[in-house]
């Protein structure tokens, strides 16, 4: 088992941001001279059992901002719990379940999105008789939550609705 606690602080100077060219008025990315400061802490756990089952969990709290104002689309809190287990009836089949927690996030107009909890379910296996072929079936946003992500300051919208339940079948071939 691996248990980890992290406390951090980072400071960025002269960040690059979207601005306007003073001569043409066209949008261009420019060095701004602005500063971003982030402080936070994170706790994580990772445990693997002899059976092949694995539990991973993490929770973090942070404050990232400019000039005493929290950054847009920077969550105050994030959490994740992920468990994967081998399915004994079918060789090579793994099932995984994940819960994700997104705390509120500041939007371009200064309001905040609501926090949300999302669940995902995954089945993955190596395809027998075809070396390097892997198949997966995933259901994202399992409980069909309605939630918003903040938009960028270049969009006319303040937030974007995110997709509801999404099912994806995927084949990957590695050579």
The model carries a pTM of 0.82
The pLDDT-based confidence of 106 (bands split at 50, 70, 90) is: very high
Measured distance CA(107)–CA(32) in Å, rounded: 21
Of 59, 8, 11, nearest to 35 by C-alpha is: 11
**Residue 153's pLDDT band (boundaries 50, 70, 90)?**
confident
Nearest 5°: the CA angle 104, 39, 57 is 65
96: which strand partners?
84, 122
Residue 31 or 127, more confident: 31
CA distance 29 to 154: 12
pLDDT band at 148 (very low <50, low <70, confident <90, very high): very high
| Residue-level pLDDT at 167 | 97
Percent over 70 (pLDDT), the chain: 100
Phi-psi region of 141 (alpha: psi -120 to 50; beta: other; left: phi over 0): left
Would you state the pLDDT for residue 150?
93
Mean pLDDT of 139-145: 96
**What tokens were used for 117?**
């909890």
- Over residues 51-100, the pLDDT tens digits come to 999 999 999 999 998 877 888 888 999 999 999 999 887 777 899 999 99
- Whether 136 has a pLDDT exceeding 80, the answer reads yes
pLDDT for residue 154 is more than 90: no
Beta strands in 33-140 (DSSP E): 35-48, 54-66, 69-70, 77-86, 94-102, 116-126, 133-140
Q: Is the pLDDT of residue 43 over 90?
A: yes
Exposed, middle or buried: residue 105 (CB in 10 Å: 0-12, 13-18, 19+)?
A: buried
CA dist 165 to 29, 58, 109, 120, 123, Å? 36, 24, 28, 9, 16
């Amino acid at each position: 088992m691996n248990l980890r606690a992290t406390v951090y602080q980072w400071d960025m100077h002269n960040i690059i941001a979207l601005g306007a060219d003073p001569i043409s008025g066209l949008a261009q990315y420019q060095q701004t001279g602005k500063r971003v400061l982030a402080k936070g802490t994170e706790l994580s756990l990772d445990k693997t059992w002899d059976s092949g089952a694995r539990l991973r969990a993490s929770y973090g709290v942070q404050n990232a901002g400019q000039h005493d104002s929290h950054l847009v689309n920077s969550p105050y809190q994030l959490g994740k719990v992920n468990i994967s287990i081998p399915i004994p009836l079918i060789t090579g089949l793994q099932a995984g379940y994940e819960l994700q927690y997104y705390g509120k996030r500041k939007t371009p107009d200064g309001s905040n999105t609501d926090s949300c909890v999302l669940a995902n379910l995954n089945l993955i296996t190596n395809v027998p008789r075809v070396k390097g072929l892997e198949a997966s079936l995933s259901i994202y946003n399992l409980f069909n939550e309605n939630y918003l992500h903040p938009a960028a300051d270049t969009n006319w919208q303040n937030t974007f609705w995110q997709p509801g339940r999404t099912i994806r079948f995927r084949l990957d071939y590695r050579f």
